[in-house]
């Protein structure tokens, strides 16, 4: 039996075909997603500068040639939409984290991905187990695996020694999408909302409310870390898996594990590029000289913010975990209403309907308008908690983190302090609340949505 995952062989004139692998009588359909979703024919040649960056440079009368130079520096460091890449990396830790592929994942993530690869490539692994390395062909639908296999065969000649068999199996199980592969997936699935550079300016963005996330600020609202800290890989993966309720952001749970991890990599890539762009623009606005050394320095600064995020995980202590009780809900109700406690009613309203006195203001015409704004300059309305619709997760731990740290990029303040959260992040009206107080608030807020 020959695995029908064929490879393009110019000498034989073969054409890649889709087909089935069979192992132990079980069919596994392999879809050439790269071919189906390849939208590189309409991706831009360069990422370019965001509209925000161009506006700031124009308003400051920065010469056009400096803007062009700035674009060139970004291209040198990050490549293009069709050939994205981290270039000119010299920090070993940075290299390992950004270009390490599967090795950059934690142990659990690597195990899950290897298990998936064992299923995806079980037909190939049958040939490896049999020592028939020269009989194997790799589909160009997996370009990185195809490239690595060609290099392996050129080195070993396909001689079926035990060492080569073990190396071949490890090579297949370690398959991981490249930035270039994932960029094509992003262009097919995400670009229409988030834009080619992740600035939230895709062609459909203006029709959506709320607007798609602009990655350039490095600010993401659903995170498990302190306020205004970069998200963990797990945070981005959760957003991709679950989507965001009440918005146009869908779930991509239908994607493979490798597809999800690849998109996490690419979102981080676009965010790092966007943050580097914003810092380069800020440097240009104050007259600093722009060169490659400066651009690399700023990119490393942006990366350090992401690299350090795991240290800021917000995790309640076991001792403070509480069950929802009538007494806990009653205490939470008092904290919710008190200006010296959570002060939640000032925005969310006494009944939790998002109609608190701080949520609205009168405009020049005497009309009531939302008074809350996010980091991107968009007006917001306080959440109606009675709907039980929580964009960033409705589990108790999700709400605990929102209440304790606030929401990055928005007006929602944090009310907690202590382990994992500096006290100066508290922006409520009173003193920081204890973990027990925060759990009481969690239970009361959940009760509003259940009523």
Spatial distance between the Cα atoms of 174 and 115, rounded to a whole number of angstroms: 10
Which pLDDT belongs to residue 262? 95
Query: What's the DSSP call for residue 31?
Result: P
Residues 306 and 324 in one domain: no
CATH code: domain of residue 329: 1.10.760.10
CA distances from 428 to 335, 408, 432 (A): 12, 15, 8
| Rg (alpha carbons) of the chain, rounded to whole number | 25
Residue 440 structural domain: 318-450
Spatial distance between the Cα atoms of 218 and 171, rounded to a whole number of angstroms: 34
CA distances from 403 to 111, 322, 426, 441, 442 (A): 34, 15, 10, 8, 8
Q: Which of 113, 141, 174 is the last residue of a domain?
A: 174
Spatial distance between the Cα atoms of 427 and 31, rounded to a whole number of angstroms: 51
Asked whether residue 117 is domain-assigned, the answer is no
Residues 170 and 183 in one domain: no
Q: Is 360 helix (H, G, I), strand (E, B) or coil?
A: strand
The beta-strand segments (E) located in 344-413 are 360-362, 368-370, 372-373, 379-380
Query: What's the DSSP call for residue 312?
Result: G
Quick one: which H or E segment has residue 26? strand 26-30
pTM: 0.84
CA distances from 396 to 139, 332, 340, 413 (A): 45, 14, 23, 18
Spatial distance between the Cα atoms of 21 and 30, rounded to a whole number of angstroms: 8
Q: Is 126 helix (H, G, I), strand (E, B) or coil?
A: helix
Residues 326 and 373 in one domain: yes
Which regions of the chain are under pLDDT 50? Answer: 1-40, 418-427
Residues 277 and 185 in one domain: yes
Give Cβ neighbours of residue 224 (< 8 Å, ≥ 6 apart). Answer: 231, 232, 234, 235, 313, 314, 315, 401
Asked whether residue 142 is domain-assigned, the answer is yes
Strand partners, 28: 21
Which pLDDT belongs to residue 319? 67
Residues 92 and 215 in one domain: yes
User: Which two three-digit tokens encode residue 284?
Assistant: 């240009």
Q: Which of 312, 330, 363 is the last residue of a domain?
A: 312
Residues 258 and 403 in one domain: no
Spatial distance between the Cα atoms of 109 and 325, rounded to a whole number of angstroms: 37
Residues 427 and 405 in one domain: yes
Give Cβ neighbours of residue 84 (< 8 Å, ≥ 6 apart). Answer: 78, 179, 180, 183, 266, 269
Asked whether residue 110 is domain-assigned, the answer is no
CA distances from 67 to 46, 186, 271, 274, 292 (A): 14, 26, 20, 15, 14
Asked whether residue 37 is domain-assigned, the answer is no
Spatial distance between the Cα atoms of 137 and 117, rounded to a whole number of angstroms: 16
Spatial distance between the Cα atoms of 153 and 137, rounded to a whole number of angstroms: 11
Report the domain count for the chain. 3
Cis before 210 (ω within 30): yes
Query: What's the DSSP call for residue 291?
Result: -
Residue 305 neighbours by CB distance under 10 Å: 15
Q: Which residue has the tokens 């440079």?
A: 57
Nearest CA to 332 out of 450, 451, 430, 448 is that of 448
Residues 202 and 343 in one domain: no
Spatial distance between the Cα atoms of 272 and 348, rounded to a whole number of angstroms: 34
Residues 264 and 299 in one domain: yes
Nearest CA to 309 out of 197, 402, 240, 408 is that of 408
User: β-strand 372-373 against 360-362: which pairing, if any?
Assistant: unpaired
């Amino acid at each position: 039996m020959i695995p029908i995952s064929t490879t393009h062989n110019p000498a034989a004139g073969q054409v890649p075909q889709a087909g089935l692998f069979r192992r132990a009588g079980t069919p596994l359909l392999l879809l050439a997603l790269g071919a189906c979703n390849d939208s590189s024919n309409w991706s831009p040649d360069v990422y370019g500068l965001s509209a925000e960056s161009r506006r700031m440079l124009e308003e400051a009368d920065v010469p056009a040639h400096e803007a062009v130079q700035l674009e060139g520096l970004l291209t040198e460091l990050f490549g293009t939409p069709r050939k994205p890449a981290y270039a000119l990396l010299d920090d070993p830790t940075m290299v390992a984290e950004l270009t390490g592929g599967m090795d950059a994942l934690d142990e659990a993530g690597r195990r899950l991905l290897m298990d998936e690869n064992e299923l995806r490539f079980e037909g190939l692994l049958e040939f490896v187990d049999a020592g028939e390395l020269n009989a194997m062909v790799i589909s160009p639908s997996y370009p990185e695996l195809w490239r690595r296999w060609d290099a392996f065969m050129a080195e070993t000649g396909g001689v079926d020694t035990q060492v080569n068999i073990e190396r071949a199996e490890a090579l297949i199980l370690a398959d991981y999408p490249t930035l270039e592969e994932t960029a094509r997936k992003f262009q097919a699935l995400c670009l229409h909302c988030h834009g080619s550079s992740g600035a939230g300016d895709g062609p459909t963005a203006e029709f959506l409310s709320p607007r798609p996330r602009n990655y350039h600020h490095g600010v993401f609202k659903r995170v498990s870390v302190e306020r205004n800290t970069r998200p963990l890989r797990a945070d981005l993966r959760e957003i991709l898996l679950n989507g965001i309720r009440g918005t146009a952001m869908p779930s991509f749970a239908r994607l493979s594990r490798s597809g999800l991890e690849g998109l996490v990599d690419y979102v981080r890539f676009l965010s790092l590029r966007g943050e580097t762009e914003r810092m380069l623009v800020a440097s240009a606005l104050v007259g600093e000289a722009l060169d490659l050394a400066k651009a690399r320095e700023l990119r490393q600064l942006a990366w350090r913010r992401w690299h350090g995020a795991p240290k800021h995980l917000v995790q309640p202590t076991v001792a403070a975990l509480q069950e929802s009780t009538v007494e806990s809900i009653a205490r939470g109700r008092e904290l919710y209403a008190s200006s010296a406690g959570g002060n939640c009613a000032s925005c969310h309203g006494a009944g939790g309907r998002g109609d608190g006195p701080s949520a609205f203001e009168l405009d020049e015409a005497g009309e009531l308008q939302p008074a809350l704004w996010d980091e991107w300059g968009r007006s917001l309305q306080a959440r109606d908690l009675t709907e039980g619709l929580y964009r960033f997760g409705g589990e108790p731990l999700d709400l605990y983190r929102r209440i304790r740290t606030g929401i990055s990029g928005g007006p929602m303040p944090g009310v907690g302090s202590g382990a994992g959260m500096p006290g100066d992040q508290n922006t409520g009206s009173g003193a920081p609340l204890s973990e027990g107080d925060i759990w009481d608030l969690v239970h009361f807020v959940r009760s509003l949505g259940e009523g």
